[in-house]
Amino acid sequence: MPNSCEYPDTIRIDVVKNGSARLLCRWDILEVEIKTDEDTHTEYTYTEQVIWWQLPSSEYIERVNDRQVITDAGRQYIMDTTDGPFGILAWAKAAAV
Protein backbone atom coordinates (compact mmCIF):
# COMPACT_ATOMS: atom_id res chain seq x y z
CA MET A 1 0.00 0.00 0.00
CA PRO A 2 1.24 3.50 -0.75
CA ASN A 3 1.85 5.84 2.15
CA SER A 4 2.25 9.57 2.69
CA CYS A 5 3.14 11.98 5.48
CA GLU A 6 0.35 14.28 4.25
CA TYR A 7 -3.33 13.34 4.16
CA PRO A 8 -3.95 12.30 0.53
CA ASP A 9 -6.68 13.77 -1.66
CA THR A 10 -9.32 11.24 -2.72
CA ILE A 11 -8.88 12.34 -6.34
CA ARG A 12 -5.79 14.14 -7.61
CA ILE A 13 -5.55 15.41 -11.17
CA ASP A 14 -2.11 14.42 -12.42
CA VAL A 15 -1.99 15.11 -16.18
CA VAL A 16 -4.40 16.37 -18.85
CA LYS A 17 -3.83 15.03 -22.36
CA ASN A 18 -6.00 14.53 -25.45
CA GLY A 19 -9.13 15.62 -23.60
CA SER A 20 -8.63 13.14 -20.75
CA ALA A 21 -7.29 13.52 -17.24
CA ARG A 22 -4.98 11.04 -15.56
CA LEU A 23 -6.36 10.77 -12.03
CA LEU A 24 -4.78 9.38 -8.88
CA CYS A 25 -7.71 7.81 -7.03
CA ARG A 26 -7.29 6.90 -3.35
CA TRP A 27 -9.50 5.16 -0.82
CA ASP A 28 -9.30 3.12 2.40
CA ILE A 29 -7.16 5.91 3.86
CA LEU A 30 -5.84 4.94 7.29
CA GLU A 31 -3.92 7.05 9.80
CA VAL A 32 -0.92 5.20 11.23
CA GLU A 33 1.37 6.33 14.05
CA ILE A 34 5.00 5.59 13.23
CA LYS A 35 7.36 5.33 16.22
CA THR A 36 11.09 5.73 15.87
CA ASP A 37 13.83 5.97 18.47
CA GLU A 38 13.64 9.78 18.34
CA ASP A 39 9.94 10.57 17.85
CA THR A 40 6.47 9.58 16.73
CA HIS A 41 4.79 10.89 13.59
CA THR A 42 1.64 10.28 11.61
CA GLU A 43 1.58 8.68 8.16
CA TYR A 44 -1.33 7.69 5.96
CA THR A 45 -1.67 4.42 4.07
CA TYR A 46 -4.21 3.94 1.31
CA THR A 47 -5.21 2.01 -1.77
CA GLU A 48 -4.49 3.82 -5.02
CA GLN A 49 -5.45 3.33 -8.64
CA VAL A 50 -4.32 5.50 -11.54
CA ILE A 51 -6.96 5.90 -14.25
CA TRP A 52 -7.59 8.01 -17.34
CA TRP A 53 -10.97 9.79 -17.30
CA GLN A 54 -12.42 11.31 -20.47
CA LEU A 55 -13.58 14.90 -19.88
CA PRO A 56 -16.96 15.20 -21.64
CA SER A 57 -16.82 18.91 -22.53
CA SER A 58 -14.27 21.21 -24.12
CA GLU A 59 -15.12 23.81 -21.44
CA TYR A 60 -13.23 21.61 -18.95
CA ILE A 61 -9.91 22.06 -20.76
CA GLU A 62 -7.86 25.00 -21.95
CA ARG A 63 -4.52 25.28 -23.68
CA VAL A 64 -1.73 27.09 -21.83
CA ASN A 65 1.76 27.24 -23.38
CA ASP A 66 1.02 24.29 -25.71
CA ARG A 67 -0.26 22.15 -22.82
CA GLN A 68 -3.79 21.16 -21.95
CA VAL A 69 -4.81 22.10 -18.41
CA ILE A 70 -8.06 21.61 -16.58
CA THR A 71 -10.28 24.64 -16.01
CA ASP A 72 -12.17 25.53 -12.83
CA ALA A 73 -15.29 24.08 -14.49
CA GLY A 74 -13.34 20.87 -15.13
CA ARG A 75 -12.24 20.68 -11.50
CA GLN A 76 -15.84 21.14 -10.41
CA TYR A 77 -16.93 18.37 -12.80
CA ILE A 78 -14.34 16.01 -11.28
CA MET A 79 -15.52 16.86 -7.74
CA ASP A 80 -19.18 16.41 -8.70
CA THR A 81 -18.46 13.07 -10.41
CA THR A 82 -16.23 11.52 -7.73
CA ASP A 83 -18.89 9.65 -5.73
CA GLY A 84 -21.89 7.51 -6.55
CA PRO A 85 -22.34 4.07 -8.07
CA PHE A 86 -21.16 5.27 -11.51
CA GLY A 87 -18.64 7.84 -10.27
CA ILE A 88 -14.91 8.10 -10.75
CA LEU A 89 -14.04 6.42 -7.46
CA ALA A 90 -16.34 3.44 -8.14
CA TRP A 91 -14.78 3.04 -11.57
CA ALA A 92 -11.25 3.19 -10.10
CA LYS A 93 -12.11 0.56 -7.48
CA ALA A 94 -13.48 -1.74 -10.20
CA ALA A 95 -10.33 -1.21 -12.28
CA ALA A 96 -8.20 -2.21 -9.28
CA VAL A 97 -9.89 -5.61 -8.89
Each residue's pLDDT tens digit, 62-91: 999 999 999 999 999 999 999 999 999 999
% pLDDT > 70, the chain: 100
- Over 90: is that where the pLDDT of 41 sits? yes
Instruction: Answer yes or no: pTM beyond 0.85.
Output: yes
In this prediction, residues 42-69 reach a mean pLDDT of 96
Whether 32 contacts 45, CB under 8 Å: yes
What is the DSSP secondary structure assignment for residue 10, as one 8-state letter?
S
3-state secondary structure (DSSP) of residue 5 = coil
The confidence band for 28, taking pLDDT boundaries of 50, 70 and 90, is very high
Give the number of other CB atoms < 10 A from CB of residue 60: 20
